[in-house]
C-alpha cells in the first residue's frame, strides 16, 4: 500500500516538477488579492497559537508510549509556525532567505512523516499485543 501511495504522489507531482521553471499554464484567481494579506495574517496567528498549544500538550503528555509522537508533533507545529512567520516576513518584503522556505518545508514534511510512522508502529504494537 505504501508503494502505491508513494508512486501515485510521484506521478501526480511530475507535471509540477516539469513545468516548475516555466510560466503559468493556468492562472486562476481563488480569492481576491485584497484578502491575501488578511488571510496571511490569520494564518500567522493560527500557526503561532497551534505551536504554543502543541508545546504545552507535549509537556503534559510526558511518559507513556506515545510521548515521542507528541514531542515530534510539537516540533512539526513549531516548524509550521516558523514557516508561516517567514512567509509573512517575506510577503511584507522584510526578509528573504533564498531556499529557506524549501528547506523548512522539507524538514517539516520529514518530521511529520517520522511522527506518523512512529505512531503507526506504536499503535500496531499496542493492538497486536
Domain coordinates in residue numbering, the chain: 37-128
Question: From the CB of residue 86, how many other CB atoms can be counted at a distance below 10 Å?
Answer: 16
Answer positive or negative: Cα dihedral of 117, 123, 128, 129: positive
In this predicted structure, what is the pLDDT of residue 49?
92
In this predicted structure, what is the pLDDT of residue 127?
85
Question: From the CB of residue 42, how many other CB atoms can be counted at a distance below 10 Å?
Answer: 11
**pTM (global) more than 0.75:** no
Taking the C-alpha atoms of residue 71 and residue 105, their distance in angstroms, rounded to an integer, is 18
Taking the C-alpha atoms of residue 27 and residue 35, their distance in angstroms, rounded to an integer, is 17
In this predicted structure, what is the pLDDT of residue 31?
77
Rounded mean pLDDT, 84-104: 87
Cell reading at 117: 510512522
Q: Where residue 106 falls among pLDDT bands split at 50, 70, 90?
A: very high
Amino acid at each position: 500500500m505504501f508503494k502505491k501511495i508513494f508512486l501515485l504522489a510521484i506521478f501526480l507531482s511530475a507535471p509540477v516538477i516539469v513545468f516548475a521553471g516555466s510560466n503559468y499554464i493556468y492562472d486562476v484567481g481563488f480569492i481576491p488579492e485584497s484578502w491575501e494579506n488578511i488571510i496571511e495574517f490569520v494564518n500567522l496567528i493560527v500557526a503561532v497559537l497551534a505551536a504554543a498549544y502543541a508545546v504545552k500538550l507535549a509537556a503534559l503528555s510526558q511518559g507513556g508510549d506515545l510521548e515521542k509522537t507528541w514531542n515530534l508533533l510539537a516540533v512539526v507545529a513549531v516548524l509550521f509556525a516558523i514557516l508561516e512567520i517567514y512567509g509573512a516576513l517575506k510577503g511584507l518584503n522584510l526578509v528573504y532567505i533564498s531556499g529557506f522556505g524549501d528547506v523548512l518545508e522539507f524538514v517539516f514534511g520529514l518530521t511529520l512523516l517520522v511522527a506518523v510512522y512512529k505512531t503507526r508502529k506504536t499503535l500496531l504494537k499496542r493492538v497486536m499485543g
